[in-house]
Amino acid sequence: MVGQDPSASPAIGALENANPLIYRRQGERPVTAREEDDELPDAIDDREIFDLIRSINDPEHPLTLEELNVVEQVRVKVNDAESTVSVEFTPTIPHCSMATLIGLSVKVKLIRSLPERFKVDVHITPGTHASEHAVNKQLADKERVAAALENNHLLEVVNQCLSGRP
């Protein structure tokens, strides 16, 4: 579905990347003394955003986006004061046909989890995908994202990626 609409069905059948490299997961986030003090306001930070997306499932492997190194904390940038979040994700292979679906899952997860004031930008890590520009343009087009999410089949696939593993 490279270069196609996110509403197109993902390919079913043979795995594109049968033996992906698997990375170690990060530990739990340590809670700081400041955060334990309910009197103090806490800005949303990069690690909190990363925690929201690290356990999203890959569409074709029983692994998380963190385990496949598709998302990394260093590629998450949040500016709470300006209400912006930017996430770069790295497809496992440069021709990954699931790139739009993965990006859409990250975007949907953040839109559902964050306060509505946030502007969520999701991009492919520069230089890591053959159709980087086309995928980025689709993910940035809120009208096409809205139309895609009115497609029940696609919404089901996205929700599957977003449901935590049992």
Partner 1 sequence: MMKDSLTLLSRIPAHPDSRCWFLAWNPTGSLLASCGGDRSIRIWGKEGDTWVCKSVLGEGHQRTIRKVAWSPCGNYLASASFDATTCIWKKNHEDFECTATLEGHENEVKSVSWAPSGSLLATCSRDKTVWVWEVDEEDEYECMSVLNSHTQDVKHVVWHPNQELLASASYDDTVKLYREEEDDWVCFTTLEGHESTVWSLAFDHSGERLASCSDDKTVRIWRQYKPGNEQGVVCNGTDPTWKCICTLSGFHTRTIYDVAWCQLTGALATACGDDAIRVFEEELLSDPHQPTFTLTAHMARAHSQDVNCVAWNPKEPGLLASCSDDGEMAFWKYQRPEVC
Q: Where in 114-133 is the site for partner 1 (CB under 8 A)?
A: 116-117, 119
* Comparison of 101 and 148: residue with beta carbon closer to partner 1: 148
CB of 110 to partner 1, least distance (A): 14
Interface with partner 1, residue 137, by CB under 8 A:
yes
Of the pair 36, 150, the CB lying nearest partner 1 is at: 150
CA distances from 90 to 6, 36, 44, 118, 122 (A): 18, 34, 23, 22, 11
Query: Phi and psi (nearest 5°) for 124?
Result: -80, 140
Tell me how far apart the 2 most distant CA atoms of the chain are, in Å. 53
Distances (CA, A) of 100 to 8, 26, 45, 69, 82: 10, 25, 25, 16, 26
Interacting residues with partner 1 between 87 and 116 (CB under 8 A): 116
Number of residues that bind partner 1 (CB under 8 A): 13
Among residues 143, 164, 165, 166, the one that binds partner 1 under rule CB under 8 A: 143
Residue type, position 46, single letter: D
Per CB under 8 A, residues contacting partner 1 are 5, 116-117, 119, 137, 140-144, 146-147, 150
